[in-house]
Structure 1
Amino acid sequence: MAQKSRKTSKAKGSLSALVVAVILAGAYYIFSPEEDVSPSREGLIPVELVKTIDGDTIKIVYEGKETNVRYLLIDTPETNHPRLGKQPFGEEAKRRNQELINSGKLEIEFDIGQKYDKYGRLLAYIYIDGESVQEKLLAEGLARVAYVYPPNTRHLDDYEKVQNEAKKKGIGIWTLEDYATDRGFDSDTYPVKGNTSSKPESEKPSTQPTEQFANCTELRKVYPEGVKQGHPAYSERMDGDKDGVACEPR
C-alpha cells in the first residue's frame, strides 16, 4: 500500500512539474520582445548603415569594412554626377531613400550572380524591417527598372509590375514625358534649373551647349570615363555598343 502511495505522489509531482514548465513557456512567448522570436527572412543579412549617397547607393559596414552598395535592378536620377550634374527628381529620390534607410532594421540580400560591379561596389537588394526599398522607390515613381544583368534577376518580375503601376499613375519620373528611357534619364529634355521638382519646360532650349570631339581618343582626354547619353559631348556614333555611354573605357 505504501509503495502504491509513493508511486501516486511521484506521478503527481511529475504532473505538477509539467504544468509549471508549460506555464513558463507560455509566459516566455507572451512577454518576450517580438524581435527575439521573429528571425529575419532567409537570405537577408543585417548590416550597419554608414551613410546614404544618393537614391540608389548607400555606404555600409560589411564584413568589418565600409563598402558602397549599389541597389540591384533599379536606377534613380543623379544628384551630383561629374558629367550629368543634377537631374530632375534626383534630390527627391535621395531624400526618400535616406528616410527609408533610417526608418528601421537594415538588411541586404545577394542574388546568385556577381556580388561586385566594376567599380568595386556591392550589388544587393535592400530591405528595411523586411520590406523592399527598391520596390518602394519604384512604387513612388522615384526609380526605374534598369541594369538588368542575368543571373541577378531574382526580383525582376515583381519590380517591373510595381514600375508599371507607377507609370499608370503618372507619378514622379513618369510625369516627365520621355525623361526615363531604356538608356537612362534624358537630362537634355528636362534640364534642371534650381529646384529639381520644378515643372518641365515646354520646349528644349535652343542654346543647349554642345561639345564635339573627332573621336573617342580626343573625348577621353577630357572625360576619361566616357559620357552618358544626355551629356553635351555624347554622340551616338561613339556609342558602339548602344548602352547609353559613349567612349567608356574597355
Structure 2
Amino acid sequence: MFNKKSELFKPIAAAVLSLSLLGSSFTPFAIKESNHVQAAAPTTAVTSKVTEVIDGDTIKVMYKGRKETVRMILVDTPETKDPNKCVQLFGPEASDFTKKSLQGKNVKVELGVQTRDQYGRVLAYIYLDNKMFNKTLLEKGLARVAIFPPNTQYLEELQAAEATAKQKKLGIWSSANAMNGACAPKTTPVKPKPAPAKPAPKPKPAPKPAPKPAPKKESFKNCTELRKKYPKGVAKGHPAYDSKHDRDKDGWACEK
C-alpha cells in the first residue's frame, strides 16, 4: 500500500519540482538594469586644477604638471569665441556657468579613447565632485550632444540627459532660434551719462559800505551861542539846527 502511494505521488512531485525550477529561471518581467547609470570618475582619472575657462566646453588645466587645453567630449556649447561665427544664444550663459562652476577648482580628467584633437587639445570627460560635468551641461540645456568617434564611451547616458533637457525646454531647447544656433542680440555697453556741469558760482556782491554815523546833534541855548560857532546860522538838517531858533520858519536858524 505504501509503495503504491509512493508510486502515485512520484509524478505529482516531479511536476511540482519542474514548476518550481521553471519559476526560478523564467523572469520575463524582471526589471532590466538601466544603461544610464550616473558615471562616476574612474580611478584612472587624474586630479587637475582648472586655471582658466575659455568657453562653455573648453578649459585650461594643470594636468600632470603641464598646462593643457581640454575640450570636453560629446558636448558642444553655443559659440562665443569662434572668429568666424557670431556669439550664439545661450553661449554667454554656458561660458558663465562653466566659469562659475570650475574656475580655480580641482577636477578629475578622464581621457577619451582618442586623447587629442587636430588642434592638440586634450579630449576628456571632466568630473566635479565625482559627477561628470559634460553631463551637467546637457542637463541644464547649455550644450547639445556632439558625436566624434571613437570617443563615445558614455554616449547613451549623455543622450538621455539631452533628451530630458529637451523635454523640459531648458536653455537652448527653449526656443527655435536657440536650437538653430541663432546669434545672441548684441548688447552695447551703456555709457554713464556725464554729470551735469555745476553752474559757476555767482560772484559775491561787494559788501555795502557801512553807513556813515549820523552827525552828532549840537545844541545851543540861543542864537548868540550858536553864532559863536556858526556866524551865518545853520540850515535845516544841520546838527545844530533847532526849530526854536528858526523863528520865521524859513529853514534857516539864527541867520542874520
TM-score (norm 1): 0.55
Partner of 2:158: 159
Please state how far the C-alpha of 1:194 moved relative to its aligned partner.
2.0
Could you tell me how far 1:61 is from its partner in structure 2?
A: 1.4
Instruction: Tell me, yes or no, if the aligned pair for 2:108 and 2:126 is still in contact at 8 Å.
Output: yes
Structure 1 residues 111-122: aligned runs within 5 Å: 111-112=112-113, 114-122=114-122
**Retained in 2: the 8 A contact 1:47–1:107?**
yes
**Structure 1 counterpart of 2:150, which letter?**
P
Aligned residues: 148
Residue aligned with 1:69, SS: strand
Structure 1 residue 103: deviation in Å? 7.9
Instruction: Work out which of the two has the higher radius of gyration on C-alpha atoms and give 1 or 2.
Output: 2
C-alpha displacement of 1:111: 2.3
**Retained in 2: the 8 A contact 1:104–1:129?**
no
Q: The residue matched to 2:86 in structure 1 has which SS?
A: coil
**Counterpart of 1:173 in 2: which secondary structure?**
helix
Distance in 1, matches of 2:74 and 2:116, equals 14
Counterparts of 2:42 and 2:88, CA distance in 1: 35
Partners in 2 of 1:60 and 1:80 — Cα distance?
19
Deviation at 1:50, TM superposition (A): 1.2
Alpha-carbon RMSD across the aligned residues, in angstroms, is 1.9
Q: Is the 8 A contact 2:115 2:122 kept in 1?
A: yes
Q: 126-135 or 95-104: which moved more?
A: 95-104
* Structure 1 Cα separation of the partners of residues 110 and 81 of structure 2: 27
Question: Which runs of at least 4 in structure 1 moved beyond 4 Å after TM superposition?
Answer: none
**Cα distance change, pair 153–191 in 1 and its aligned pair in 2 (3 A):** same
One-letter amino acid of the structure 1 residue matched with residue 58 of structure 2: T
Alignment-derived partner of residue 181 in structure 2: 186
The residue number in structure 2 matching 1:136 is 136
CA deviation map 1:199-219 (0-9, x unaligned): xxxxxxxxxxxxxxxxxxxxx
Q: Give a deviation string over 1:160-200, Cα, whole Å, max 9, x none.
A: 000000000001000121643xxxx533xx553329xxxxx
Structure 1 residues 163 and 103: CA distance shift in structure 2, 3 A: farther
Per-residue CA distance 1:77-99 (angstroms, 9 max, x = gap): 11132111311111100111112
Q: Give the TM-score taking structure 2 as reference length.
A: 0.54
1:44-63 paired onto structure 2 within 5 Å? 44-63=45-64
